[in-house]
């Protein structure tokens, strides 16, 4: 089955010329749960096809009980930003649209850098789904693919 998520309308500081003067920007933001050995971190996250990894703030690892002490590291960077250190740990991610729930094991990156919201990128999330971003409906559809390791 397919999960459907309406875009979240985020207020803009001024009228958005490229959207015909709208005062909101539609974004594919969904609630996600990160489950670890001793807790659950729940937050809105951006489904980001341009993000290489799934990345959460360090506080999420602490809340979920994931130990980053000897975690493997990597780098991540955004538009015009200097690369930041990302530490990886294995956890479980959960998504639901209120009708269907999916959960799967994933390597998640954690950073001390400021994030507007966690990023659900290719590695750890979008690699396991076919994603259809419907601009006209301002919604995204996610359907598990052959790589999906969860339930």
86-117 pLDDT, tens digit per residue, is: 999 999 999 999 999 999 999 999 999 999 99
Share of the chain above pLDDT 70, in %: 99
- Confidence band, pLDDT 50/70/90 cuts, at residue 139: very high
Residue 150's pLDDT is 87
> For residue 56, with 0-12 CB atoms within 10 Å meaning exposed, 13-18 middle and 19 or more buried, which class applies?
buried
Structure tokens at 107: 């390597």
**How many Å apart are CA 65 and CA 142, to the nearest integer?**
28
**How many Å apart are CA 64 and CA 130, to the nearest integer?**
27
Mean per-residue pLDDT, 80-86: 85
Each domain of the chain, given as residue ranges in start order, spans 2-144
Per the confidence metrics, is the pTM higher than 0.85? yes
Mean per-residue pLDDT, 108-135: 96
Of residues 126 and 83, more confidence is placed in 126
Q: Is the pLDDT score of 77 beyond 90? A: no
11-30 pLDDT tens trace: 999 999 999 999 999 999 99
Mean per-residue pLDDT, 70-88: 88
- What CATH architecture applies to the domain 2-144? Beta Barrel (2.40)
Secondary-structure breakdown of the chain: helix, strand, coil percentages, each rounded to the nearest 5: 10, 55, 35
Phi, psi of 63 (to 5 degrees): -60, -40
């Amino acid at each position: 089955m397919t999960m459907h998520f309406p875009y979240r309308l985020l207020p803009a500081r001024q009228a958005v010329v490229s959207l015909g003067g709208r005062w909101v920007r539609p974004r594919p933001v969904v609630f996600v749960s990160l489950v670890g050995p001793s807790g659950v971190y729940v937050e809105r996250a951006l489904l980001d096809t341009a993000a290489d990894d799934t990345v959460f703030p360090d506080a999420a690892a602490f809340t979920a009980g994931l130990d980053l002490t000897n975690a493997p590291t990597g780098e991540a960077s955004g538009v015009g930003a200097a690369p930041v250190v990302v530490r990886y740990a294995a956890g479980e991610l959960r998504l639901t649209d209120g009708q269907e729930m999916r959960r799967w094991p994933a390597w998640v990156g954690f950073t001390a850098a400021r994030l507007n919201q966690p990023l659900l990128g290719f590695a750890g999330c979008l690699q396991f789904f076919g994603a259809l971003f419907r601009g006209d409906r301002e919604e995204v559809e996610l359907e598990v693919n052959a790589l999906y390791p969860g339930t």
